[in-house]
Amino acid sequence: MPPLILTEGLVKEYKSTIGKGNVRVIDNLNLKIEEGEVFAFIGPNGAGKTTTIKLLLNFIFPTEGKILLFGKPSNDISTRKEIGFLPESSYYYRYLNPVELLDMYGRIFRIGKRERLKKIEELLSMVGLEDFRHMPLRNFSKGMLQRLGLAQALINDPALLILDEPTSGLDPIVRREIRDILRRLNQDGKTIFFSSHELSEVEMISHRVGILNRGRLIRVDRLNELVSGGMAKESLEDIFIRLIKEDVDKDV
């Protein structure tokens, strides 16, 4: 089985708005995500986490380097059949209700009507939105949209979940609900690649962690090795801040 995500020498540059030259936002990124793991992609604001996810899903195009999903180029549309994606701050069609939205996405995967309706009910129940199935999405709160976002990402029962800040801006109750769902999904065999700012969350659910700073992957390690291998009693937050500072100091 090839790695579910593989990037080699990935570079993304944008034209500078000031003067000549390019700004490098992703710099020689090498990632390898194996089946069954929960990989957390962490970094300060502007580190390039969302850019990396956009590159993986071919929303933007790399300047250099290679991206393979399930061993195939990322622009191969067939890879999408096995992927579920939750964007940062989920937004969906305001005039639809959850059933209509999930039904539309289910049809894309050619799921038969009976199975689709069953799946929709299961997913709405899983994310706790079964009582809001006919409410227009424009009336949904951020937390409800995020839970619906998770449901739509699971409509095709994907092998790989790519989640961009799945718990960002949510209250502790919804955060815990989403965390529990992610744990269960991983126990069911799903591979999860997610970006996050919530380091306590990362500590609770991830197997491996990649720390990104200014487009560079400065450390990738198993969570337990990262935490126990550092200074005594250092939390992930302490390690994160220390590594980022060291990376900045190195450049200075």
Q: Are 195 and 41 in contact (CB under 8 A)?
A: yes
- The answer to the question of residue 66 lying near another protein (CB under 8 A) is no
Determine which helix (DSSP H) or strand (DSSP E) holds 6, and give its type and residue range. Answer: strand 5-15
113 or 242: CB nearest another protein? 113
Per-residue buried b or exposed e for 189-205, using 16+ beta carbons within 10 Å of the residue's own CB: ebbbbbbbebbebbbeb
- The answer to the question of residue 91 lying near another protein (CB under 8 A) is yes
Task: Find the shortest distance in angstroms from Cβ 168 to another protein.
Answer: 14
Window of 97-105, 177-185, 214-222, 223-231 that interacts with another protein by CB under 8 A:
97-105
- The answer to the question of residue 197 lying near another protein (CB under 8 A) is no
164 or 201: CB nearest another protein? 164
Sequence-distant (≥ 6) Cβ neighbours of residue 188 within 8 angstroms: none
Sheet-wide strand order for 64-69: 22-33, 5-15, 64-69, 72-73
Characterise 233 by phi-psi region: left (phi > 0), alpha (psi -120 to 50), beta (else).
left
- The answer to the question of residue 52 lying near another protein (CB under 8 A) is no
Q: Are 26 and 12 in contact (CB under 8 A)?
A: yes
Map the footprint of another protein across residues 138-177, applying CB under 8 A. Answer: 149, 152-153, 156, 162
Using the rule CB under 8 A, which residue among 95, 131, 233, 251 binds another protein? 95
Which 8-state DSSP code applies to residue 81?
A: G
Q: Are 95 and 136 in contact (CB under 8 A)?
A: yes
Using the rule CB under 8 A, which residue among 43, 48, 87, 143 binds another protein? 87
Task: Find the shortest distance in angstroms from Cβ 76 to another protein.
Answer: 10
CA angle, 8 then 156 then 143, to 5° = 90
Window of 29-37, 89-97, 118-126, 223-231 that interacts with another protein by CB under 8 A:
89-97
Task: Find the shortest distance in angstroms from Cβ 34 to another protein.
Answer: 21
- The answer to the question of residue 90 lying near another protein (CB under 8 A) is yes
Residues that bind another protein (CB under 8 A): 54, 57-61, 77-78, 80-81, 83-87, 89-93, 95-96, 100, 104-105, 107-110, 149, 152-153, 156, 162
